[in-house]
Amino acid sequence: MTRLDRRGAGLLALSLAAATLFGGALATSTSMAAAKEKPLRSVESFDAIADRGGRSAAYFTEAGKVLLHPRCINCHPAADRPLQGEASRPHVPRVQRGPGGIGVPAMRCATCHPSSNYDAVGMPGNPHWALAPAPMAWEGRSLGTICAQLKDPARNGGRSLDAVVEHMKKDSLVGWAWAPGAGREPAPGSQESFAALVEAWAQSGAACPSP
C-alpha cells in the first residue's frame, strides 16, 4: 500500500468513527427523529385540577418530560464532561466544560461542532453550542430539585422567572432539542408547547413537584 493509499484509508477510518460516535448511520436512521416524536399535554388539559398549586406543579411535571430528556440532560451534566446519545454516555473525545462551558483551549466545542447540524457525519451543531453553567446541572436530580433551581437566580443564570420563560420560548439552543439532526430522538412536543407549559407554571405560582 502506498503512502497515499494509507492516508486515504486513515481518513476513511476517521470519517467512519465520527459517524459512529455522533449517530451518523444515516441510511437507516433518517426518519428516526420523526418516528419517535411524542406530544406534550396542552395547558388546557390541566384545567380540571382545581387546586392552583397542584395545577402549577402538574404543568412543571409535564414540562419535565423535556427537561429530563437526553437532549437536555446531555448538556446539563452533573460533572464537567458532557454526555451524548440516547443513553447519555460520557462524551467521546474526553472534552471538559472549561470557562464559559465552551471547552478548554485545546478542545473547544466549536472545533468539532459547527453552527448547524452536519448530518453527513451525524455531527450536531448550533451557533451557541456549549454546556449549561455548572449550577444548572440536572443530571441525576429530581424534577422538584430542578424546579427549585429554575426559580433561583443564583442557579439559573441570573434570570427572573419571566426571563426563564423567555429563555425557554426563544433560545435557539433550547430549540435545537426539537431539531437535533438525523438519527437523534427529539425532545417531546415542540418548543412552543414546552414553553407554554413553563409559562403556565410561572403564572400559576411556580409550584414545584415533590422532591
Decide which of 203 and 10 is more confident: 203
**19-42 pLDDT tens trace:** 444 444 343 343 344 435 689 999
Q: Is 211 part of any domain? A: no
**79-135 pLDDT tens trace:** 999 999 999 999 999 999 999 999 999 899 999 999 999 999 999 999 999 999 999
Res 38: pLDDT: 86
- β-partners of residue 99 are none
Note whether 185 and 29 are within 8 A (CB).
no
Report how far residue 84's alpha carbon sits from residue 66's, in angstroms, rounded to the nearest whole number: 16
Q: 133 exposed, middle or buried (CB, 10 Å; 0-12, 13-18, 19+)?
A: middle
Note whether 71 and 184 are within 8 A (CB).
yes
Q: Is the peptide bond before 93 cis (omega within 30 degrees of 0)?
A: yes
**140-161 pLDDT tens trace:** 999 999 999 999 999 999 999 9
Q: Which domain holds residue 75?
A: 3-203
Q: Is 209 part of any domain? A: no
Res 174: pLDDT: 97
12, 79, 81, 92, 117 from 130: Cα distances, Å: 28, 14, 11, 15, 14
Res 36: pLDDT: 55
Note whether 24 and 123 are within 8 A (CB).
yes
Please state, for a pLDDT cut of 70, what percent of the chain lies above it.
82
The mean pLDDT of the chain is: 86
Q: Is 7 part of any domain? A: yes
Strand pairing report for 103-104 and 83-84:
unpaired
Res 37: pLDDT: 64
Contacts of 85 (CB under 8 A, 6+ apart): 23, 70, 74
**39-87 pLDDT tens trace:** 999 999 999 999 999 999 999 999 999 999 999 999 999 999 999 999 9
Q: Is 106 part of any domain? A: yes
What would the mean pLDDT of 170-182 be, rounded to a whole number? Answer: 97
Is the per-residue pLDDT at 137 higher than 50?
yes
Note whether 193 and 201 are within 8 A (CB).
no
Could you tell me the pLDDT band of residue 16, with boundaries at 50, 70 and 90? very low
Res 211: pLDDT: 80
Q: Is 208 part of any domain? A: no
DSSP class per residue in 81-144: S-EETTTTEEPSS-----GGGSEETTEEHHHH--SS-BTTTTB---TT--PPPGGG--TT--HH
Res 6: pLDDT: 38
Domains: count for the chain = 1
Q: Is 161 part of any domain? A: yes
